[in-house]
A and B are shown apart, each in its own frame.
Chain A
Amino acid sequence: MRYFDDKPELVAAILAKYPPQGRRSSLMPLLREVQTALHYVPAEQIEEIAEIVGVTATEVRAVMSFYSTYSTVPQGKYHLQVCATLSCALAGSDELWDDLCETLGISPGEVTPDGLFSVQKVECLGSCGTAPLVQVGELGYHERLSRQDLHALLDALRRGEYPGPHSPLPVFVHSGQQEDAAGARHGAELKPLGENL
């Protein structure tokens, strides 16, 4: 089945972001569309994208294999990614990972029989201040995740309810002032050009 045939506006909008000589730049956005919608990029879509962009399917595969996001085999409806890098490891991400894999009974590359879940260990997600975390596919981050939080999330997803991302801000700013560890607030008021200091 072709994916982009009935989406000419979408394709045109993506191509329009880049200059004529940069048609190939649309490759990644097009791959992302398919990956998000189908949870992988089937061979037929690789051909389709190659056609749109004007390169060979082999070239599309070469690009795909460089990046960790694109998959050539189907992933679960909810692809759960666990950051395993240092700050997360210091917050127990390896235990989180083991718990997740045991609970779901799958390893990377597998999908649960109900088609709901697949798992992947990934590198630093830029959430080191709110470690550990799980990223649910294209839906969002679930940070500072406790064992209870993880199981509550899995239960909700099993019921087909995505509870929405959980991304607490690791900052202590209140209307222009920053709170120190003792609870005192600091921060002068900024005045327009020339009047500061």
Chain B
Amino acid sequence: MTATAPRPITSGLDPRFALSLYAHVGEQGSWTLESYRARGGYQAARRALSMDPDRIIDEVKASGLRGRGGAGFATGLKWSFMPLKDGRQHYLLCNADESEPGSFKDRYLMSEDPHQLIEGMLIAGYAMRATVGYIYIRGEYILAAERLEGAISEARAAGILGSKVLGSDFDFQLQVHRGAGAYICGEETALMNSLEGLRANPRLKPPFPAAAGLYGLPTTINNVETLCAVTHILRYGASWHAQMGSGKSLGSKLYQISGPVHRPGVYELPMGTTFAELIEDWAGGPTEPIKAIIPGGSSCPMLPYQQDILDLPMDYEAVAAKGSMLGTGGVILIPQNYCIVNATWNLVRFYAHESCGKCTPCREGIAGWMVHVYEKLVRGQGRPEDVDLILDMSDNIAGKSFCALADACLGPVQSSIALFREEYDHLASTGQPLYPRQSRWLGGGAR
């Protein structure tokens, strides 16, 4: 950057910040082709189809876009791993399995503005010479799947999908494949197995999907939000995208916030916006005292609810520097008077239920022992040594499982003990939680 380069945009309150991903969410009929075209839809695809595919990859690299599925891997770099035109079928997969607790952003991208995803997939497919795409959407997303199917039919009828896309020489077939309730299907190789009609156990890597993915052929998989961002990068330019954000985390991001705040929801903000801005200025602040914050979906270690954390920019490196992760950007607030062992047990139970059973540390460690010890604790039947037992088990599981699911479970486990050991010890030694259960069904849900 030169000395005269403008200051990057790192706040949703910055007058230069413009919504892109969610700009039309909630508008009547925003999911139709007519509405999408009226706001310039598919012009970015037209532009892309007139470019050399490698230049599109360069543009995505220049934009600084990183995968929004949780890991934050550089999208342009990932695309460049696909083999050049080698005569084989290449596949593009969209990961729409969104099942990480605390995450609910992709759902509305698909139900409210599905054409931006279709356009992003067209562009990505063309750039990577993939002529077939599948959107793997979790089975429970009924409305989103219907709207996607509807949008795909409209696009086919209008010559936007199928053979000779928009009058070019490029063919692109796009299909929706619906899941059936299994969190592990979000892991990219498990997703491919599921799509092939198998049990969704993860595959050994290498080979990586770009070498041997779906049906053993070159495949790239991206999250819904990532592919939607591609549309806007091609529409508004790589430099527009790179102007937003902090450090190596650029662009606009969908942050989600749930738990006891006045306005839980999804907010589109530039990367690098602080937790404080999200929680206070956008979500209206907590409705009760908070003790912990899960920064980016349930796998991300909890952080204490205190000023230095609230002042952190929500970017990948800044959150990692505090020992956690930005993940999917799904923020969950845990109230002061909610038993932390109970909250953690809830998540351990989740991971235990979702363990695919392929490897021993996760099947026996998480789905067997870990959840068992937690259940004992929350029932008031724990022993004082159980807390150290949990830590000991965690050490034995960490880094030893086949995929990232088991380590994901350890995120909340280890962080909650580090932060709130006294709550664990109290429950383990007295059988009584420091914070007994209270009614939380707000006369119900009246917010």
- Looking at A62, A67, A124, A180, which has the most chain B CB atoms within 10 Å of its CB? A124
A197 and B16 contact, CB distance less than 8 A: yes
Q: Which residues between 163 and 208 of chain B lie within 8 Å of chain A, taking CB atoms? A: 175, 177-183, 194-200
A138 and B23 contact, CB distance less than 8 A: no
Q: Which residues between 151 and 197 of chain A lie within 8 Å of chain B, taking CB atoms? A: 165, 167, 169-178, 180-182, 186-194, 196-197
Additional 13 contacts, C-beta under 8 A, given A178-B22, A187-B19: A63-B198, A86-B298, A90-B259, A128-B103, A128-B258, A146-B444, A149-B445, A150-B444, A171-B25, A172-B263, A174-B26, A180-B281, A186-B12
- B223 in contact (CB, < 8 A): no
- Contacts known (A32-B139, A85-B101); A27 close to B16, Cβ less than 8 A: no
Q: Which residues of A contact B98 (CB under 8 A)?
A: 126
* Chain B nearest CB, measured from A88 CB (Å): 9
The CA-CA distance from A95 to B19 in the complex, in Å, is 38
- A22 in contact (CB, < 8 A): yes
The CA-CA distance from A122 to B296 in the complex, in Å, is 21
Contact residues of A with B, CB < 8 Å? 17-19, 21-22, 24-29, 31-32, 53, 55, 62-63, 66-70, 84-87, 89-93, 95-96, 122-132, 135, 138-141, 144-150, 165, 167, 169-178, 180-182, 186-194, 196-197
A19 and B89 contact, CB distance less than 8 A: yes
Q: Which residues of A contact B436 (CB under 8 A)?
A: none
* Chain B nearest CB, measured from A69 CB (Å): 4
Other-chain residue from B180, B196, B330, B447 in contact with A144 (beta carbon distance below 8 A): B447
Interface string of B234-251 (1 = CB under 8 A from A): 011101100100000000
Which chain A residue lies CB-closest to B6? Answer: A197
- Looking at B18, B140, B330, which has the most chain A CB atoms within 10 Å of its CB? B140
The CA-CA distance from A81 to B312 in the complex, in Å, is 37
Which segment, of B315-323, B332-340, B393-401, faces chain A? B332-340
* Chain B nearest CB, measured from A108 CB (Å): 13
B282 and A146 contact, CB distance less than 8 A: no
A181 and B180 contact, CB distance less than 8 A: no
The CA-CA distance from A13 to B101 in the complex, in Å, is 34
Which chain A residue lies CB-closest to B347? Answer: A86
B198 and A24 contact, CB distance less than 8 A: yes
A123 and B99 contact, CB distance less than 8 A: yes
B265 and A129 contact, CB distance less than 8 A: yes
- Contacts known (A171-B26, A171-B265, A192-B236); A91 close to B441, Cβ less than 8 A: yes
* Chain B nearest CB, measured from A145 CB (Å): 6
A126 and B180 contact, CB distance less than 8 A: no
Other-chain residue from A21, A29, A92, A186 in contact with B439 (beta carbon distance below 8 A): A92
- Contacts known (A21-B215, A86-B102, A149-B445); A53 close to B182, Cβ less than 8 A: no
Q: Which residues of A contact B142 (CB under 8 A)?
A: 138-141, 165
Q: Which residues of A contact B87 (CB under 8 A)?
A: none
- B383 in contact (CB, < 8 A): no
B178 and A132 contact, CB distance less than 8 A: no
Q: Which residues between 85 and 101 of chain B lie within 8 Å of chain A, taking CB atoms? A: 89, 98-101
Which interface class (under 10, 10 to 19, 20 to 34, 35 or more) fits B? 35 or more
Q: Which residues between 268 and 289 of chain B lie within 8 Å of chain A, taking CB atoms? A: 268, 280-285
B237 and A181 contact, CB distance less than 8 A: no
- Contacts known (A25-B196, A144-B447, A148-B444); A85 close to B139, Cβ less than 8 A: no
A96 and B444 contact, CB distance less than 8 A: yes
* Chain A nearest CB, measured from B387 CB (Å): 20
* Chain A nearest CB, measured from B175 CB (Å): 5
Other-chain residue from B107, B140, B178, B280 in contact with A28 (beta carbon distance below 8 A): B178
A87 and B199 contact, CB distance less than 8 A: no
Other-chain residue from B179, B239, B354 in contact with A123 (beta carbon distance below 8 A): B354
Which chain A residue lies CB-closest to B266? Answer: A171
- B257 in contact (CB, < 8 A): yes
The CA-CA distance from A170 to B330 in the complex, in Å, is 13
- Looking at B139, B197, B236, which has the most chain A CB atoms within 10 Å of its CB? B197
The CA-CA distance from A127 to B26 in the complex, in Å, is 16
* Chain B nearest CB, measured from A20 CB (Å): 10
- Give the top 8 A-B pairs by smallest Cβ distance, nearest first: A92-B441, A146-B444, A170-B265, A24-B197, A181-B284, A67-B180, A68-B181, A27-B197
- B256 in contact (CB, < 8 A): yes
- B291 in contact (CB, < 8 A): no
- Contacts known (A95-B440, A169-B25, A192-B40); A62 close to B199, Cβ less than 8 A: yes
B443 and A172 contact, CB distance less than 8 A: no
B18 and A87 contact, CB distance less than 8 A: no
* Chain A nearest CB, measured from B106 CB (Å): 8
A22 and B236 contact, CB distance less than 8 A: no
Q: Which residues of A contact B258 (CB under 8 A)?
A: 87, 90, 128-129, 131
The CA-CA distance from A89 to B266 in the complex, in Å, is 19
Which chain A residue lies CB-closest to B235? Answer: A193
A67 and B439 contact, CB distance less than 8 A: no
A123 and B178 contact, CB distance less than 8 A: no
* Chain A nearest CB, measured from B300 CB (Å): 12
- Contacts known (A67-B180, A172-B263, A176-B19); A129 close to B104, Cβ less than 8 A: yes
| Selected A-B contacts with CB under 8 Å, 30 pairs | A25-B196, A25-B197, A53-B197, A67-B181, A68-B181, A68-B182, A69-B180, A69-B181, A85-B101, A90-B332, A90-B334, A91-B440, A92-B444, A92-B445, A93-B441, A126-B106, A129-B257, A131-B445, A141-B143, A146-B445, A149-B444, A169-B112, A176-B18, A176-B24, A178-B19, A181-B262, A181-B282, A181-B284, A187-B23, A196-B236
Q: Which residues of B contact A86 (CB under 8 A)?
A: 101-102, 298, 332, 343, 346-347, 350
* Chain A nearest CB, measured from B249 CB (Å): 18
A123 and B282 contact, CB distance less than 8 A: no
